[in-house]
Amino acid sequence: RSLSVDLRNALLNGEVEPWYQPKINLSTGRPIGVEALARWNHPARGLVPPAVFVPIAEEHALVDELDRYMLLRASAEAAKWVAAGLIDHLSVNLSPRHIEKGDFLADIDLALEESGLPPAALEMEITENHFVNANAESLPKLARLAARGVTISLDDFGVGYSNLSYLRKIPLKTVKIDRSFTEDIEHCADSRAIIDAITRLAKAFGLNTVAEGIETARQLEIIRNLNCDEGQGFLFARPMPADACEAYLLSRR
Ligand code: G
Ligand code: G
Ligand code: NA
Ligand code: MN
């Protein structure tokens, strides 16, 4: 059977679940949020990575269902962490296709209502690449999202074809600097210069910055010196199931 058929069933019978990767406030060293990342435990194939099934979901118009499922489950699970003061917010990835075609505002309203998560504690991550072919309806939809108090983060920033004017047009709170810059920051002066430029630009626009993919203490030190606000990466924690994430957050409260 094809993976797309399997994925449709997987969403119904709970084979897909959100794992969570913490985001760290680099001035306090404390977790400030968690990003929900989809994991699919296929009964025959084992763990199927999102790099494989997210594109399949996008091709087969299943991504709205995947995003809705993730949004509902992650909001329900993370609402108690927010209520307990363990984190400020939950971040959920939103596929470009879902923004363009889907009724994602209704999905978000449902997730907020069912979970009791305050809108300001929900952040939607939108990949920068989306805005290459953004249709005219995306921007007003994102404005309506922001009007609800939900925040928006521009994911994978710096590697797409984005036009810097989107920093003004999209009601953003946060810019996530792509992992590829963090990866070679120790050896590549250009990557340091790019991160430096992005953090300065973000500051000028009043935006928060997150560096992705921090794996070493040295990378962390450089990123701190470049005045990045938050960090995420294997140095702090890998994505983990809800139980493990809760234990991690409790141990660092
Ligand atoms: O979790 P990594 O571990 O492998 O994720 C790979 C890619 O899949 C990332 O680009 C991530 O944004 C995307 N992804 C993970 N979970 C989701 C999800 O729930 N919805 C969408 N649209 N993309 C996701
Ligand atoms: O596109 P997005 O930023 O949502 O993708 C997140 C992806 O990055 C996930 O696949 C996650 O597992 C992965 N990731 C998170 N931290 C690190 C890290 O420190 N190193 C590497 N190599 N991957 C990471
Ligand atoms: Na993301
Ligand atoms: Mn990213």
pLDDT at residue 165, rounded to an integer: 80
Pocket around ligand 1 at a 6 A CB cut-off:
37-38, 49-51, 54, 63, 66-67, 70, 93, 95, 239
Tell me phi and psi for residue 215, to 5 degrees: -115, -20
pLDDT at residue 132, rounded to an integer: 57
| Furthest C-alpha separation in the chain | 52
Contacts of 158 (CB under 8 A, 6+ apart): 128, 177, 178, 180, 181, 194, 198
Output the average pLDDT for the chain: 93
The two tokens of residue 20 are 């969570």
Give pLDDT < 70 ranges for the chain: 130-135, 162
CA torsion, ordered 39, 42, 46, 49, to nearest 10 deg: -40
How far is 153 from 92, CA to CA, in rounded Å? 10
Which DSSP state fits 17? E
pLDDT at residue 135, rounded to an integer: 66
C-alpha of residue 21 to centroid of ligand 4, in Å: 12
pLDDT at residue 3, rounded to an integer: 87
Q: Which position has the token pair 């009601």?
A: 171
**Would you tell me how many other CB atoms lie within 10 Å of the CB of residue 36?**
25
Q: Of the bound ligands, which one is closest to the alpha carbon of residue 176?
A: 4
Structural domains for the chain:
3-251 (3.20.20.450)
C-alpha of residue 36 to centroid of ligand 1, in Å: 8
Element holding 146 (H helix, E strand): helix 138-147
Q: Of the bound ligands, which one is closest to the alpha carbon of residue 102?
A: 1
How far is 152 from 196, CA to CA, in rounded Å? 22
C-alpha of residue 1 to centroid of ligand 4, in Å: 31
Q: Of the bound ligands, which one is closest to the alpha carbon of residue 63?
A: 1
For atom 11 of ligand 2, which residue has the closest CA? Answer: 239
CA torsion, ordered 215, 219, 221, 223, to nearest 10 deg: -110
Model confidence pLDDT, tens digit, residues 201-234: 999 999 999 999 999 999 999 999 999 999 999 9
C-alpha of residue 93 to centroid of ligand 1, in Å: 7
pLDDT at residue 87, rounded to an integer: 98
**Full-model pTM:** 0.96
| Cβ proximity of 98 and 124 under 8 Å | no
